[in-house]
Structure 1
């Protein structure tokens, strides 16, 4: 009996540690879904009825990671001061560093595709991500970015005012971002 009780206590002590390894599910509205070549997932396959916007954009996956705003705020944050054409003055943008988000998800070092709610897509290569300060901006000057205001997420980094992205840098400054695919 003592042996059974001891085994039960040990098992109960180990279970919380094992559960801590499982990625958390979002507790609030999902603002970003990441699929593709990722090592961590917290949701199952695309459901065309529930995930109608993703389905409309012809997205499909068996597993993915869904983030709510609080989960994104829990990742290491970065700031970028910039004046995009949509703004009258420079602003300080804040959000999780893209490379930290990708590291958290244990992604492969491959091309990353970004999709906005209107279906616009862009991409970045691994070198672009590793050598720059890309952030998934959630706010500008402390104010959350909403839909209709380049939000809920804006892929942004510092660039010179006269910089024009080359065809190889199609991912620059995708706004109203809601989906990322790791790999092609």
Structure 2
């Protein structure tokens, strides 16, 4: 039976308020019962919290290296203000992390191990393919070299990103993201 046919029958028998309640209950149940994320098996590298619907413990989403590597990835080859020469950075797309946790906000408040924080607009992250770099030139990034996670923009591909405001959003040593 089609949804439209069911809606017509409902309206004919019960009225608008009852039908609306029925459909919200039926379609809302699929959102409320979204599948939880798997538990991390290795060391937690990233915790995502805030306006999210998919978690794996205490209202947060925790990711280990394998979970992050399982998300859609990209590689950005670029110079940065903090490194010598162009490097190959790879890691999950910020937009993929957003999708994986069922986020509903439009800004990512990114927090480093030392509590430095910056807000990355979701629209900007998706438009430019911003990644959470896990590797530089094929090697995991240690904390002393901007790791283990680094918000990275494709600076060389988009000269309009070479501003102080965008550089400020390129948080390194990322530990947490709060979806707002």
TM-score (norm 2): 0.74
Q: Which has the higher helix share?
A: 2
Tell me, yes or no, if the aligned pair for 1:124 and 1:171 is still in contact at 8 Å. Answer: no
Q: Which runs of 5+ in 1 are unaligned?
A: 1-20, 45-62
Correspondence 1:11-90 to 2 at 5 A: 21-44=35-58, 63-90=59-86
Aligned to 2:110: 114
Count, aligned residues: 144
Structure 1 residue ranges, 4+ long, deviating more than 6 angstroms after superposition? none
Rg comparison, structure with higher value = 2
CA distance in 2, matches of 1:139, 1:72: 12
| Secondary structure of residue in 1 paired with 2:80 | coil
When the two chains are superposed, the root-mean-square deviation of aligned CA atoms in Å is 1.9
1:98 shift after superposition: 0.6
Tell me which residue corresponds to 1:54. Answer: none
Of 132, 151, 157, the residue aligned with 2:153 is: 157
Find 2:126's aligned residue among 130, 145, 162. Answer: 130
Q: Counterparts of 1:106 and 1:22 in 2: how far apart (Å)?
A: 10
Tell me the equivalent position of 2:178: 181
Is the CA contact (8 Å cut-off) linking 2:92 and 2:132 kept in structure 1? yes
Structure 2 counterparts to residues 99-110 of structure 1, below 5 A: 99-110=95-106
